[in-house]
């Protein structure tokens, strides 16, 4: 079987509840699990040479935190490295990765090791609940053989959440399911397409619970299908709406599509299936449940590829064994509109969308005075997005963040399970805080549907289901325009975007053209940002079936909140070999003395 090191087979596989295949060929499997203040990792790689693993802010080699290891001549080795901004590999003077098990057989190398989440080492990346861009590589030879061994094409990157809370997986193998999939949709040769197709839920007349939703992405279209939203539509429709799909948000779009306002599920690129907690399910089959649903698929085709035909969609797995609660979804954040805008050339710009206390007071006060329980959140932005936080205020006091991603990756968006369910009460405030970078842009970035436009949204999965589907805000546009010197617009407003009357330099320009004409500097952008965050907001507070709570359309002031958000202090612990168990200490000595690794290596 080959050479091994460590006790028995190393830590049991149950120590690594999460796993991901990092490469397309299935040659590199990562398993991991949290162990107190440390993370335990296990690499299973189809090679008899070295294996590389790392954490990177960008997904590239620059300024990365790297570990390299393998088994050579029967002796295990593992070494902590880092790269500088020029991608030069250097041995880390503080060795924070600790080998626990190593094995090599005729085909594979297996390495099990651990590392503290926060190591006090400036060359290491802290491991948090944010997205982590994992980088990987391997070579058929061990380190030091034949000099510098470059990994060639055996390398890549994958975004993951390494601190996923463990969740109870209920086997769904024997449960019934139905698929909602597009049928031969011709994807236009344009940048962004939203395609809408109406479906009828096949389960009727008796209540069931959907327990899991899985994406069915056509092979080869993993980068084309950017996100899928499932909306509940009016139950007064008839089967004639099922006959054809159509581009969403199009002037010729069927009127029936306008009745589909309530998001009941959201999936975005990079995400996997979503399993509901054991006590919650998405209700189907009763008069209050979705009968007609609209599936909106966002196709992202920046290369304008012609002739693409897509059949992607969703699989819904359900059970007649009812759970205690029905799940609901609330869309919170910034209403998608041109009133949300970001100046060009800004290394950081912050936008905030408010689920206001006025909306939550009215809706929860009427429907659920005891509050709702949020159990998962999906944070959503587009290409300029860099970080998103969901802030929660109760009686004006800030609570722990509901959800956050300080390393937001446009290509990896999925529901985050909360470690502990959070109660949202009448009169609470929820603020979706989005951080953007537009340093590479020379024109304004506008709120909108294209991936080149921006969004700032949070989708909250909660129970028990109430009649609140959207809790959002729009900032006041006139005060934004006054910042660039606009004095008057033509009234009544007959065109969109509306036209400016004065001053002279903006006369007869649309407000979009005027904002683009303004000479933005970073200092101006910063001043504008400070203004926008304090502006009154227009409240959006929606029910199902296009109905609205009475607070809809009212003006409210954003809450007085501390900016920037103060992150909780990190307690870091340097775990040198002295703090390892005796077994690890001995293993450290073995691989340190047996290693022939120098100060530079092949991981470039």
Side-chain-side CA neighbours of residue 417 (13 Å): 16
Closest CA to 30 of 15, 16, 48, 14: 16
CB proximity list for 4: less than 8 A, separation 6 or greater? 71, 102, 103, 104
> In this structure, how many other beta carbons lie within 10 angstroms of the beta carbon of residue 506?
24
CA nearest neighbour of 314 among 381, 229, 202, 198: 229
Spatial separation of the C-alpha atoms in residues 185 and 86, rounded to whole Å: 44
What does the H/E/C string look like for 21-52? ECCCCCCEEEEEEEECCEEEEEEEECCCCCEE
Residue 243 exposed, middle or buried by CB count within 10 Å (0-12, 13-18, 19+): exposed
> Where do the DSSP E strands lie in 84-120?
89-91, 98-104, 109-116
Cβ(91)–Cβ(81) below 8 Å: yes
Look at residues 134, 97, 135 and name the one whose alpha carbon lies nearest to residue 114. Answer: 97
Please report the DSSP string for 310-343 in residue order.
E--EEEEEEESS--SEE-EEEEEEE-SSTTSEE-
List 134's β-bridge partners, or say none: 55, 158
Three-state DSSP at 519 gives coil
Residue 220 dihedral angles phi and psi, to the nearest 5°: 90, -10
Contact status, residue 133 vs residue 407, Cβ threshold 8 Å: yes
- Residues designated catalytic: 194, 380
418 beta partners = none
CA dist 127 to 43, 406, 407, Å? 18, 11, 11
Instruction: Give strand ranges (E) for 449-519.
Output: 457-463, 470-475, 488-489, 500-502
What is the C-alpha separation between 148 and 150, in angstroms, rounded?
6
> Distance between CA 387 and CA 379 in Å, rounded?
9
Enumerate the β-bridge partners of residue 543.
none
Rounded CA-CA distance 142/108 in Å is 13
Which one, of 315, 312, 302, 304, lies nearest residue 220 by Cα?
312
């Amino acid at each position: 079987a080959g050479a091994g090191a460590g006790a028995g087979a190393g830590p049991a596989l149950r120590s690594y509840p999460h796993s991901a295949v990092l490469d397309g060929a299935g040659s590199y499997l990562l398993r991991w699990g949290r162990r107190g203040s440390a993370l335990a990792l296990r690499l299973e790689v189809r090679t008899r040479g070295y294996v590389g693993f790392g954490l990177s802010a960008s997904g590239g080699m620059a300024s990365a935190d790297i570990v390299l290891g393998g088994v050579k001549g029967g002796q295990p080795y593992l070494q902590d490295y880092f790269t500088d901004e020029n991608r030069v590999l250097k041995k880390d003077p503080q060795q924070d990765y600790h080998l626990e098990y190593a094995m090599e057989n005729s085909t594979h190398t297996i390495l099990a090791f651990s590392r503290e989440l926060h190591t006090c080492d400036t060359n290491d990346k802290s491991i948090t609940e944010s997205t982590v861009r994992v980088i990987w590589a391997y070579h058929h030879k061990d380190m030091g053989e034949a000099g510098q061994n470059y990994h060639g094409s055996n390398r890549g990157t994958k975004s993951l959440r390494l601190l996923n809370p463990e969740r109870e997986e209920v086997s769904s193998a024997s449960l019934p399911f139905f698929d909602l999939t597009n049928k031969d949709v011709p994807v236009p040769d344009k940048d962004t397409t939203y395609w809408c197709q109406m479906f009828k839920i096949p389960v009727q007349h008796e209540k069931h619970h959907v327990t899991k939703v899985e994406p069915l992405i056509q092979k080869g279209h993993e980068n084309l299908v950017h996100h899928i939203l499932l909306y509940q539509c009016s139950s007064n429709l008839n089967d004639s709406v099922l006959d054809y799909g159509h581009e969403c948000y199009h002037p010729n779009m069927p009127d029936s599509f306008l009745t589909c306002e309530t998001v009941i599920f959201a999936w975005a690129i990079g995400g996997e299936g979503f399993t509901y907690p054991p006590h919650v399910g998405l209700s189907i089959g009763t008069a209050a449940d979705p009968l007609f649903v609209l599936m909106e698929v966002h196709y992202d085709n920046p290369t304008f590829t012609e002739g693409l035909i897509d059949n992607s969609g969703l699989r819904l797995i359900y059970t007649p064994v009812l759970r205690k609660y029905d799940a609901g979804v609330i869309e919170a954040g910034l209403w998608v509109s041109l009133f949300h805008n970001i100046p060009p050339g800004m290394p950081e710009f912050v936008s905030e969308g408010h689920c206001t206390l006025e909306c939550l007071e009215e809706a929860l006060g009427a429907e659920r005075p005891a509050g709702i329980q949020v159990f998962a959140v999906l944070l959503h932005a587009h290409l300029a997005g860099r970080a998103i936080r969901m802030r929660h205020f109760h009686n004006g006091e800030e609570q722990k963040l509901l959800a956050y991603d300080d390393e937001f990756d446009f290509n990896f968006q999925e529901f985050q399970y909360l470690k502990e369910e959070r109660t949202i009460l009448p009169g609470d405030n929820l603020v979706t805080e989005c951080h953007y970078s537009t340093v590479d842009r020379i024109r304004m970035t506008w709120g909108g549907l294209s991936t080149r436009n921006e969004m700032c949204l949070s989708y909250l999965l909660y129970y028990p289901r109430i009649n609140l589907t959207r809790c959002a805000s729009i900032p006041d546009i006139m005060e934004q325009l006054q910042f660039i010197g606009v004095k008057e617009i033509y009234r009544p407003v007959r065109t969109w975007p509306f036209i400016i009357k004065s001053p002279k330099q903006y006369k007869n320009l649309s407000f979009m053209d005027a904002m683009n004409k303004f000479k933005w500097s970073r200092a101006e952008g910063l001043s504008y940002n400070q203004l926008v965050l304090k502006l009154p907001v227009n409240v959006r507070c929606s029910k199902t079936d296009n109905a609205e709570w009475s607070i809809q359309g009212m003006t409210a002031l954003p809450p007085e909140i501390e900016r920037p958000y103060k992150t909780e202090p990190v307690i870091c612990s340097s775990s040198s070999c002295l703090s390892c168990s005796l077994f690890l200490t001995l293993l450290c000595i073995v691989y340190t003395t047996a290693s022939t690794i120098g100060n530079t290596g092949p991981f470039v």
